[in-house]
Structure 1
Amino acid sequence: MVSTGAVDGLISGMNTSQVVAQLMQLEAQPQTNLKSQVSSQNLIISAYQALNSRMAALQTAAEAFTAPNALTPTNPTWQAVKATSSSTSVTATATTGATVGGLAFDVTALSQSQLSTVKISSPNAVTTANALDITIGATTKHITVDPAKNTAQGVADAVNAAKIGVTAAVVTTSTGDTVLQFTGTKTGTANGFSITGLTDSTTNVRAAADAKLTVGDPAAGGYVVSSSTNTFTNLLSNVTLNVSKVETGVTVAVAADPDSIADKMQALVDSANGALAQIGQYSTYNSASKSGGPLVGDFTARQLQSSILSKASKGLDGYGSFKQFGVQLNKTGKLTFDRSAFLVAYSADPTKVQNGVANGLAKAFADVADGATDSITGSLTTAIQGANARVKDLKNRITDWDGRLAMRQQMLKRQFSAMESALGTTKNQATWLAGQIAGLPSWGGSSSSGN
């Protein structure tokens, strides 16, 4: 007799397991559709997130030009300056706030650290009392030395372990002498040092020194500027000078830097084009392949595209077209930037161009980007949140279907198991009946006639 739990088709000859699997595929079609919707929503979310990054980049590029006060732009971009030097041994770097102008000077000295040596006269103790004092400025550091290691190397190890701004090393000269060498880790006269407590005398081979720049003749109203390093930040306001050679007749000039402003304008245009290209990639339908991006027909994407294009083409009331400083739309709906036109316009009237950019193109783009990326009210933010909510709902429905499908599968297995059992019973009854019929006596026979 077939077990009621069997679904292998032993009686019917059917592959009941396969039949159940096929039926379950049909039963699971609604859940499969839900899973497909989750995949589609995830693609949409990824597209929104990528577009959000593009819009954030556009906002950053735009805010490089926008100003707190629309009437008096104070953004550092508009104060860009560039410093140049007449000498390759002097580099000059200007930052916001540097005053346009120039200055001539001589590099009369470079900074250096102190170098002192002690010639070890005998293998006896190097220190007089197993210790030495090193004084840097007004600070004295007392360094003890292990009596068992009161040698040149032992003293060097103790000094290096103290880490006080002086290092020590043992040097063997070409004549075989042992020299204990002390070197300051910092340059400048303030970092000079003195040493006491050594058995042998110390020789200052190189004194600590400041770098010096001389402007004019100090005896006739000129002056000297010093630095403990070869870097000067106190000669010209917001200008850093680095010197590497003693030299006379060096000139440093500080001038406005419209090229750096033009670079940021190019970055602004590139960011806008990047956002437009991203929208196009995700919202274009390919009629040949009959497929499209995840944002085909999406209102949020279309609205952003429209806003960017309209802001670029509209211009600024009271100013006019942005073409005046080199920005315009071409026939393909892409922004172009004419660098030469911008530099000419900026040179002719910097204030006018600042107004057109800061209060026009850049502000318009910054507003569009902020309206899309704001962490609470941004159109892309709410679109992403909405899509995430849909995915969550779909996943909950998929989970519900897991339970329903499990119950349906068990029911089908029971039904097929019952069928096999019923067929088994019928087969057994048929076999018994056939046996009974075969065991019945034969009633037929032959007849004869008598004479």
Structure 2
Amino acid sequence: MTSSVDGLVSGLSTSSLISSLMQVESAPQTKLKTKVETAQTAVASYLSVNAKVKSVKSAAESLAGLGSWRALTATSSSTGVTATATGGLTGMAGTAKFDVTSVARSQTTVLTADDTTAQGVYPSQITVQPGSWAKDANGYDEFTAVGSPVVIDVPEPRTAASLSTAVNNQSGTLGIRASVVNTSGNQGVIQFTSMKSGAANGFQIAGLENHGSGSSSPTTTAAKDAELTMNPGTASEYKVTSSSNTFSGLMPGVTLTVSKEENDVTVDATNDTKAIAGKMQALVDGVNAALAEIKTQTAYDTDTKKGSPLTGDFTVRQMSSALLSAVSNGLSYTRSGTDANGNETSTTVDFGSLKQLGVTLNKDGTLAFDEGAFTDAYNTNPSKVQEAGIALGNKFKKLTETQSNAITGVMTGRKSEIASLNDQIDNWDVRLAAKKEALQRTYTALETSLGNLKSQSSWLSGQLASLG
């Protein structure tokens, strides 16, 4: 590495001279760096625009989805029956009338204990038999064994607690839990409860007979299913059961939860027009946000004569025109179907102005949505509005997908340009480093030469002086 001799002989600031010369030499690299900054700013702006366009696409996809048009609102005539609209593709408006003739419960078996701390009270083994419960001809609970019984060893000191623990250690297999409850002093009960409700989740315990208070045996409250009697008192009456208190397949797109027995319950499921209108509003809001972002990124200030990062960018500017034209040109679409012979058919439907769906253009170039007008149109002809709404969603989905792909392509090109410019900048770093070293070497040699000349001049002056 060559070092400079800064003005040692000449009195010149050679480092300043070199610095000035290097600024001139590095001017091309500085221009490259400016291009990189400009390109990076443009990429950030493209990303911002693309995010808004993708939001429009997402809203359009939602509007085009059949499930959005089957959104429901469910109401129940009873406080004991909760109706929850789940919607989805299976959702369908309708009414259900029924009696809640049974509420689901888990089996509970109880053994009383004079002293829950007493030792050696219970047998060394008990047997748990899984099974199910049903009503016999006389209306009594009848147990039917299902599967193999499970033998449980009760460890010493065979107290209520050790019995309970032994059962709980196999709760995963048995599907039951045991607990000891003190009711007064050391008196209490051992309670066995099935972990799931429903008639199919029953059990019987053998081995605890005569081991309760006063040589009593366990008492059982049988498990049972929830049961609804549909269309009660009519020729179309039938029963529906559930192991829990929830019925999810009774009404398409609606889940029912019962909490008490009662008669004459009515559940209504109606189309949720407000939720459907919300999908239209989301599309309009998305388009307006995209238009606003495009306007910001392509704006030009005539007062300051300064543009925005994407001012003059044709790819982005034409997006506004395309989005607005999709509204101003109205809606036409192809309806597919089959004829009487099962052959596929297609018909072009000229729906016309989107004002029929409540969508209009404002004078400032933005969209507006009239929820009331949309709701009136939907209530008047729901199938027509649904078909048109889905077609509109598909139209904007296709348009924004094309626009997003175009932006992605432009960004890819810009990123390649940035990579190329950065390579050139790196090459200039090597070139400028070599140039600086050459200048330092030149000025160092100059200072050395001047030093030698100065030394020779001093010697000659001394010799001439000695001759006189």
Taking structure 1 as the reference length, the TM-score comes to: 0.83
Match of 1:416 among 410, 423, 443: 443
Letter in 2 for 1:347: N
Residue aligning to 1:323: 355
Classify the secondary structure of the residue corresponding to 1:124: coil
CA contact (8 A) 1:172 1:178 kept: yes
Does residue 264 in structure 1 map to residue 292 in structure 2? no
Classify the secondary structure of the residue corresponding to 1:189: coil
CA contact (8 A) 2:298 2:313 kept: yes
**1:170–1:21 Cα change, 3 Å:** farther
Letter in 2 for 1:111: A
Residue aligning to 2:128: 134
Residue aligning to 2:422: 395
**1:125–1:51 Cα change, 3 Å:** farther
Shift of 1:273: 1.1
Residue aligning to 1:366: 397
Match of 2:199 among 182, 189, 205: 189
**1:6–1:370 Cα change, 3 Å:** closer
**1:41–1:144 Cα change, 3 Å:** farther
Classify the secondary structure of the residue corresponding to 2:184: coil
Does residue 343 in structure 1 map to residue 375 in structure 2? yes
Does residue 287 in structure 1 map to residue 281 in structure 2? no
**1:364–1:181 Cα change, 3 Å:** same
Identity of aligned residues (%): 41
Classify the secondary structure of the residue corresponding to 2:168: helix
Shift of 1:284: 1.1
CA distance in 1, matches of 2:232, 2:389: 47
CA contact (8 A) 2:70 2:92 kept: no
CA offsets per residue over residues 6-40 of structure 1, 9 Å max, x none? 44444444444444344333322322222222222
Match of 1:170 among 176, 180, 186: 180
CA contact (8 A) 2:83 2:256 kept: yes
Shift of 1:231: 0.7
CA offsets per residue over residues 86-128 of structure 1, 9 Å max, x none? 2343222343434433122233333222333344556334653
CA distance in 1, matches of 2:12, 2:161: 93
CA contact (8 A) 2:227 2:240 kept: yes
**1:280–1:105 Cα change, 3 Å:** same
Classify the secondary structure of the residue corresponding to 1:190: coil
The gaps in structure 2 that reach 5 residues or longer are 132-145, 333-349
CA contact (8 A) 1:93 1:239 kept: yes
Classify the secondary structure of the residue corresponding to 1:391: helix
Shift of 1:381: 2.2
Residue aligning to 2:94: 101
CA distance in 2, matches of 1:220, 1:356: 41
Shift of 1:287: 3.1
**1:119–1:333 Cα change, 3 Å:** same
Shift of 1:204: 4.2
**1:270–1:14 Cα change, 3 Å:** same
Taking structure 2 as the reference length, the TM-score comes to: 0.80
Letter in 1 for 2:398: D
CA distance in 1, matches of 2:2, 2:279: 79
Letter in 1 for 2:367: L
Shift of 1:334: 0.2
Residue aligning to 2:105: 112
**1:6–1:388 Cα change, 3 Å:** closer
Residue aligning to 1:447: none
CA offsets per residue over residues 58-97 of structure 1, 9 Å max, x none? 2232233448xxxxxxx33344433221234322234343
Residue aligning to 2:168: 160
Residue aligning to 1:72: none
Residue aligning to 1:211: 226
Does residue 428 in structure 1 map to residue 424 in structure 2? no
CA distance in 1, matches of 2:93, 2:315: 47
Residue aligning to 2:406: 379
CA distance in 2, matches of 1:192, 1:350: 49
Classify the secondary structure of the residue corresponding to 1:259: helix
Residue aligning to 1:406: 433
**1:392–1:365 Cα change, 3 Å:** same
Shift of 1:277: 1.4
CA contact (8 A) 1:322 1:356 kept: no
**1:4–1:316 Cα change, 3 Å:** closer
Letter in 1 for 2:82: T
**1:225–1:421 Cα change, 3 Å:** same
Question: Per residue, is there more strand in 1 or in 2?
Answer: 2
Residue aligning to 1:448: none
Classify the secondary structure of the residue corresponding to 1:195: strand
Match of 1:87 among 57, 78, 101: 78
CA distance in 2, matches of 1:253, 1:270: 32
CA distance in 2, matches of 1:174, 1:425: 117
CA distance in 2, matches of 1:111, 1:145: 31
Is the deviation greater in 398-407 or in 169-178? Answer: 169-178
CA distance in 2, matches of 1:395, 1:127: 85
The gaps in structure 1 that reach 5 residues or longer are 68-74, 444-451
CA contact (8 A) 2:300 2:307 kept: yes
CA contact (8 A) 2:331 2:354 kept: yes
